Structure 1
Amino acid sequence: MMLQMTLASICVLAAVAFAVPAQEKRVHHQADLSDHIHDDAHGYQYDHEAFLGKEEAKTFDQLTPEESKDRLAKIVVRIDTDKDGYISHAELHHWIKHRQRRYIEENVNKHWKDYDQNQDGKIGWEEYKNTTYGFYLGEEFDDVDDKATYRSMLTRDERRFKAADRDRDGIATREEFTAFLHPEEFDYMKDVVVQETVEDIDQDGDGKINLHEYIGDMYAPEEGESEPDWVQTEKKHFSEFRDANKDGFLDAGEVAHWVLPGEVDHADNEAKHLIYETDSDKDGRLTLSEMLNKMDYIKASTITDYGGMRVDDHDEL
């Protein structure tokens, strides 16, 4: 189960003119395929965003059935790189990974324009700090509670910026700024990923994660609501797999195995899942006809565009 929660501090500060890009979402070892829980019993929104991408998924929801079919056909042509009329697991896996990479590139490009104020091709820490926090930490901003929250966010950002700044010159190159925004993509940032994850989930401040905190990060029951089956599954995962030393807590090492599982490829798992759900003749590959027959399912996936897909001549694989 991938982490799903947006950082609480960002919810509090949603009105900030320059939202802190490093804290848009909790870091992941790989870019998450969707904000939704992967639970087919309660709809296919996870898959919708995994195949289509978050922005493209929204677009699909607004298209007529014929427009959706036409859009999907164009996407299938791009995924089918060997042009044999079938979508293989390898092609699907490659496409999802491509969408992930494109999302990261576009996200960095968007923020780069905001923070490289002098357009010198670099972003200094002071440049970033002043652009993001200058007003909110100044004397003219008198909301004491919010100011304290901003200071906490600033401290966290500075720690992450310094970790990303490999040559320690206080200035981020594009690659270092990418590591700052997406530390989950860089091995040398793994300690930051683990530390921030623990801080986000550890509600009692003891430096580790208990079962209540682990489940509470993913699920907050509403009054009268029965606990879904996946919650019981996650409780079992916590005790049987996540908590390796069986002490009832996840320490930093166990959290690292959880959120930095190099052997887990979410794109690969999603490709297998989509083929399983869509491959009606069970030959291990997909045709456009099979995908059109499962249009509702495909419209609930992340493959068609991770992070905002535009089907045009410039969207090369």
Structure 2
Amino acid sequence: MLLRSLGSFFVLVGMAFGVPAQEKRIHHHGDLSDHAHDDARGFQYDHEAFLGKEEAKTFDQLTPEESKDRLAKIVDRIDTNKDGYVSHGELHYWIKHRQRRYIEENVNKHWNEYDKNNDGKISWEEYKNTTYGYYLDEEFDDVDDKATYKAMLTRDDKRFKAADREGDGVATREEFTAFLHPEEFDHMRDIVVQETVNDIDRNGDGKIDLNEYIGDMFTPENGESEPEWVQTEKKHFTEVRDANKDGYLDAGEVAHWILPGEVDHADNEAKHLIHDTDTDKDDKITKKEILANWNMFVGSQATNYGEDLTKRHDEL
């Protein structure tokens, strides 16, 4: 059962029950890359955005010739209408698909652990029994923090029901994905907000006051003085977070805080790649144009992401 490893359980439910730092409260969609987007220092961001983080690691180990060969095959896949060009729409779709893969891979990794009867669905009973097992029969008497586990079970139950759009107590793969990664689905926004309020709202009045907001980040110990950043956060609470100036954060204000409007990074990256490789400026790129800039798209550590090739050219 998964409760034998509490750490993995926290990962699976997508949000730890303990209180994280404030910046961890903000939910963003999957990042395109772990690297800063600075082409002057290298193309690592572009590699991970175009290939996906795991695939980029594979390309790092290839020779330039192998990278170009594989890139040519990828271009054929991106060009879905087979007109010989990669349009902004096709490249945008490809990058969004790469962005979503980490979620699909996470779901695939754990699917068989829960789908015990191999029917292609996961029932609430399957999830609950796999995750908590005999602790349910013992009413959590065998664990140190009984109240915490009971609260975790309640949270899981509410989230599962929110993800179960058909209301039949059984999750399809899409519904289970929404359960594990609720921040990725519009219909799960309310449950994400409610979980956040429940975490921070210590007096149970359904909203967050300033003391609760600050207490989620900082609790002084042994006469510890309040750091300067706390004063900044207090000001931010009053002037920015509390939009209606009633001294509290309600559900709408919490949603605005933790689920900000997302910049479409995939769209921006598609525009960036086309702009930098579209030599004839027709707003679409050919395989020839892409392969001429292969180090931007895929690169290779075998040549230090193309830098060695550049140096050799300069030396000649």
> Are residues 185 and 31 of structure 1, via their aligned partners in 2, closer, same or farther at CA, if it must alter by over 3 Å?
same
2:167 is aligned with 1:144: no
Point out where structure 2 has 5 or more consecutive residues left out of the alignment: 17-23, 218-235, 302-316
- Report how far residue 38 of structure 1 moved: 4.8
1:21-61: CA deviation from partner (whole Å, max 9, x where unpaired): 23179899884134626543876544332211121022122
- Report how far residue 70 of structure 1 moved: 2.3
* Residue matched to 1:265: 264
* Cα distance between partner residues in 1 of 2:84 and 2:203: 55
1:27-176 aligned at under 5 Å gives the runs 31-34=29-32, 36=34, 38-40=36-38, 45-100=44-99, 103-134=102-133, 144=144, 150-176=149-175
> Are residues 35 and 84 of structure 1, via their aligned partners in 2, closer, same or farther at CA, if it must alter by over 3 Å?
closer
Could you tell me whether the CA contact under 8 Å between 1:239 and 1:248 is conserved in 2?
yes
Between Structure 1 and Structure 2, whose CA radius of gyration is higher?
2
1:125-274 aligned at under 5 Å gives the runs 125-134=124-133, 144=144, 150-196=149-195, 252-257=251-256, 260=259, 264-274=263-273
* Cα distance between partner residues in 1 of 2:45 and 2:197: 25
* Residue matched to 2:284: 285
2:13 is aligned with 1:22: yes
1:267-294: CA deviation from partner (whole Å, max 9, x where unpaired): 2233223334x33637233422343152
Higher relative contact order (CA 8 A, sep 6+): 1
* Cα distance between partner residues in 1 of 2:102 and 2:261: 20
1:71-125: CA deviation from partner (whole Å, max 9, x where unpaired): 2222122112344544321111121233345554454344332211122343222
Corresponding letter in the other structure for 2:30: D
Corresponding letter in the other structure for 1:49: E
> Are residues 100 and 295 of structure 1, via their aligned partners in 2, closer, same or farther at CA, if it must alter by over 3 Å?
closer
> Are residues 37 and 245 of structure 1, via their aligned partners in 2, closer, same or farther at CA, if it must alter by over 3 Å?
farther
Could you tell me whether the CA contact under 8 Å between 1:194 and 1:255 is conserved in 2?
yes
Corresponding letter in the other structure for 1:90: G
1:133-184: CA deviation from partner (whole Å, max 9, x where unpaired): 3267786996625x66555443332221121123444332334323212333
* Cα distance between partner residues in 1 of 2:36 and 2:247: 26
* Cα distance between partner residues in 2 of 1:247 and 1:281: 56
**What is the root-mean-square deviation in Å for CA atoms of aligned residues?**
4.8
Could you tell me whether the CA contact under 8 Å between 1:115 and 1:128 is conserved in 2?
yes
Could you tell me whether the CA contact under 8 Å between 2:67 and 2:298 is conserved in 1?
no
1:169-215: CA deviation from partner (whole Å, max 9, x where unpaired): 43323343232123334332220233345667x699995598x98xx
* Cα distance between partner residues in 2 of 1:242 and 1:193: 17
Corresponding letter in the other structure for 2:12: P
- Report how far residue 128 of structure 1 moved: 0.5
Point out where structure 1 has 5 or more consecutive residues left out of the alignment: 1-11, 217-236, 300-317
Corresponding letter in the other structure for 2:14: Q
* Cα distance between partner residues in 1 of 2:37 and 2:238: 21
Identify the structure with the greater helix proportion: 2
> Are residues 92 and 112 of structure 1, via their aligned partners in 2, closer, same or farther at CA, if it must alter by over 3 Å?
same
Could you tell me whether the CA contact under 8 Å between 1:165 and 1:172 is conserved in 2?
yes
Could you tell me whether the CA contact under 8 Å between 1:27 and 1:183 is conserved in 2?
no
* Residue matched to 1:9: none
